[in-house]
Each structure stands twice: as structure tokens, then as C-alpha cells.
Homo-oligomer: A and B are copies of this chain.
């Protein structure tokens, strides 16, 4: 069942994270740190972090924002005012971890760069996310999931033979999430080292490095097998090369037998056989024989082999269409062949395994009722996962500024100038 927010701690309890990031990758990182027990302080501009405005269904509230910002407190500061940036710097100096995705160079303009902050706080772990890395011709450029998928080869990796424009898979921000995870790994390893040395350090990840990392099994050049890389010959357009790759990909699909989804009489089942015993059990169930079951991903040695393997696939497909999904799942499970039904995304909220494995958590949000979300994805010890619903804009400005030593007068002065903003948006008691 979904688990309620509560006040339990986690392995990172006692660590303070000051988060200047927006959109997806950075907030994913800091949400994970918050889920694991850290005190995460999200510093937002007075207009609210950009992702609050991503197809909102109420002022400053969007599905995307709610999905990525639980277990954080919100402090709204105007970094364009010197009093605002001064408060931010003071806050960062109290942190164990700072995370930002400022466009490279902006952090220096704010005096929130590593040199400045580590001088104030040598224990600080300072994490920066960029689009393209810290060096190179595009290092300073802005970029998001989609454009970096395009540069990394990931966007074009699934070409369609009709020559349609490459699209992002399912609209899922694969690279943002991946970069968020990687920078979290960097931050935590720096905290592990700090426990021994007493000193923090700089951590960097980029969307480009994350996008390449997702393709690491494919993007591996072996001199003895692949030879030297050839420069592009320029005689073909990208469209023509993509169409060629689509044909090659379709040829591979036409031979695929063991690791794919099949149409049934009323839906689809996915089977995943990654070793020989599993493949033999599947063949037995389908009453098929396949001499190539030892290495089904090998390239056919002859056109005859290619034809025979395609025919085998066609026979397997015909076999699967004869029965229902439920019948196949029962038979495949009985034969110990890894299998699942192909579910539509909306169905997962009712999927027994999703409910039973505690993959969901729920919280109430002012004005929006009950919200059901996906949980962290990793469990450490027995600590329950979430404690705080996502914050209203500036909901914790006063409390946090007081915690770092500002008195009521100083806070009032910041609010009067607009350098700090308290409590905005639906459900707040504005004052």
C-alpha cells in the first residue's frame, strides 16, 4: 500500500542540503537526498522555481513540480538583489551540500562559486550540474534533456523507417533522471570521503555524460572488432543514414525470439530469456527448435540462416496470438520463463505488485486533496521514506532565515525590499 508521510529520519539525517537547482535533474537529486533523511532547503526565485510553471493546474503547482520536490523546505530569495544573494551565501555556508544548475559562470556572479563557499565552509560538498560538461566548445551553453539526448545519439537510436522526425521516448526525461542519480552518487561518495578527511570537494555531472552513460553497452569501440572510427563521408544526409539504420534495426527485430513482447489474442506479453536454460524452456513451450539459441544476438552467417531465423520468429508470433494474455502468463510462469503483461502507464496504480511492493507514497497538498506519487526507488534499512509534502513557495523563508541567525528585524527588512519572500501560492495564509 502507499505509505503516509511521517517524521522518521533516514541515513542522511543531520545533513543539510541547500539546493539552487530547478527543472528535473537537480531537483531529482535533492529529492532523493531528502527522501533519505537530509534537511533539504530549496532556494527559489520570488516567482517560484521554473518547474512550478510547467503546465500548472493551479497557481505555482504542477504535476512535474509535485513529483520532484517533496521532502524540501522552500526559501524564496531574489538573487538579483545584493541582500538576497547575501542571505543565500550565508545559508550555503551552513550547508553540508550545495547543489545548483546555474548556467556555467553565473555562480561566480552571485558569489556562490566553489572557491568562495569552500573558503567559508571547507567541509562543503559542492555539486554542479551542467548540460554539456565543464570543458569544450559547448561547455557554457544551456541545454535540457531533449537537446542533449539529440547530441548524444540517444534521440536517433530508435529510427523509424518512415523517416519521421526523431522523438523523445514517451516524453520521459531519461537523461535528466540519470544525471540526477549520477550527481547524487558523486555527492554521497564525497560525503563518505569527508567522514575520513574532514574536507568537502567539488562534484560535477552533466546531462551529456549521463546520456552517454545510458548507452555504454552500445557505445564501446573495440579496436580488434570495429577498427578505427571512420570520419563521416558526407555523401549521405542524416535522413538517409537514419533510414538505413532503421532497416538494420528492423532486420534484427525480425529475428528476435527471446527478449521481446508478443501480441496475444487480447493484449501483449513480454518475455525475457537472457540465458540458455530460459531459452530452452521457452522453445519447449512453443514446440520450436532453434539451433541458434546459444547466441541469438549473433549476426546470421548466411542469408539462409537469416531466412530460417526470421521464419522461426514468425512461427513464435503466430503461436502467441492463439491464446490470451492470462493463459500465456500462467504457462510461461509455470515453465519458469521471465514474463509480464504489457501494462499501460495508467494501470500501474492498480497493479497488485506495484501496490504490494510499496512503490507508491501518498500525501495531502493544500487545495489538491490526496496525491499519490512514486517513491524513492531504493530502500535503506527500515527507515520510512517521506516526511514532508512539497512546499509552497517561500513557505519556510522565515523559519530558515531565523535558523541561520537572522533576527525578526533583519527578516522584515529583507521582506520589505522583496529580497526575501514568504509563503506564496494556493493554500498558504498570506500575510
Please determine whether B373 and A220 come into contact, CB atoms closer than 8 angstroms: yes
User: Does A400 touch B at the CB level, under 8 Å?
Assistant: no
User: Does A280 touch B at the CB level, under 8 Å?
Assistant: no
Q: Give how many copies assemble into the complex.
A: 2
> How distant is A103 from chain B, measured CB to nearest CB, in Å?
10
Q: Which residues of chain B come closer than 8 Å to A191, judged between CB atoms?
A: 188, 192
> How distant is A208 from chain B, measured CB to nearest CB, in Å?
6
Complex CA–CA separation, A56 to B299 (angstroms): 11
Beyond A193-B11, A377-B210, whether A371 also contacts B188 by CB under 8 A is no
Complex CA–CA separation, A418 to B100 (angstroms): 53
> How distant is A96 from chain B, measured CB to nearest CB, in Å?
10
Complex CA–CA separation, A121 to B172 (angstroms): 41
User: Does A232 touch B at the CB level, under 8 Å?
Assistant: yes
Please determine whether B202 and A261 come into contact, CB atoms closer than 8 angstroms: no
Please determine whether B186 and A379 come into contact, CB atoms closer than 8 angstroms: yes
Complex CA–CA separation, A220 to B241 (angstroms): 38
User: Considering the complex, which residues of chain A in the window 118-158 have a beta carbon less than 8 Å from any beta carbon of chain B?
Assistant: 131-139, 141-158
> How distant is A63 from chain B, measured CB to nearest CB, in Å?
5
> How distant is A332 from chain B, measured CB to nearest CB, in Å?
10
Complex CA–CA separation, A171 to B168 (angstroms): 14
Please determine whether B295 and A55 come into contact, CB atoms closer than 8 angstroms: yes
Complex CA–CA separation, A141 to B270 (angstroms): 14
User: Does A113 touch B at the CB level, under 8 Å?
Assistant: no
Please determine whether A368 and B185 come into contact, CB atoms closer than 8 angstroms: no
Please determine whether B189 and A172 come into contact, CB atoms closer than 8 angstroms: no
User: Does A10 touch B at the CB level, under 8 Å?
Assistant: yes
Please determine whether A219 and B380 come into contact, CB atoms closer than 8 angstroms: no
Complex CA–CA separation, A342 to B239 (angstroms): 10
Q: Which residues of chain B come closer than 8 Å to A155, judged between CB atoms?
A: 261, 270, 342
Q: Which residues of chain B come closer than 8 Å to A218, judged between CB atoms?
A: 63, 171-172, 345
